[in-house]
Amino acid sequence: MSAGGQTVGTLRQLTSDLGRVADALERIAAHAGALDDIARLANHADSLDRLAETGPGLDRLALMVDALGPLSQAVAMLNDTVGQLNATVVPLQGTAERVGRMMDRLPRKRTDRDLESGPA
């Protein structure tokens, strides 16, 4: 092969390599913002360690949330029942007070004990 042919082959290889380098540089430039984020994360490694330690606690918390669902439903039902009971009892309270006042006005029958203690 002649020196000119070898030079043309080298130039073709160099052109191909430069194209791949250009593509790689474009991909690296697209991720340049991520490099800043990675650097910031590296500065907060201790925070990441503490965050990783919260994993088991978060798992337990998730189990508690699942267990509290039925309890929440039971409390809601109880609250409705108390509301219904209140709506039933409140009108009866006024009636009971009126009956009590009426009973206080009725003459009482004297018992033997009342007679022993003397006049009222």
pTM confidence score: 0.36
Identify whether the C-beta of residue 114 lies closer than 8 Å to the C-beta of residue 120.
yes
Question: What b/e readout covers 89-118, taking b as 16+ CB neighbours within 10 angstroms?
Answer: eeeeeeeeeeeeeeeeeeeeeeeeeeeeee
Angle between helices 45-53 and 55-105 (to 10 degrees): 50
Local confidence pLDDT in tens for the 120 residues of the chain? 566 667 777 777 878 878 888 888 888 777 777 777 777 777 777 777 787 888 888 888 888 888 888 888 899 999 999 999 988 888 888 888 899 899 888 887 766 666 666 655
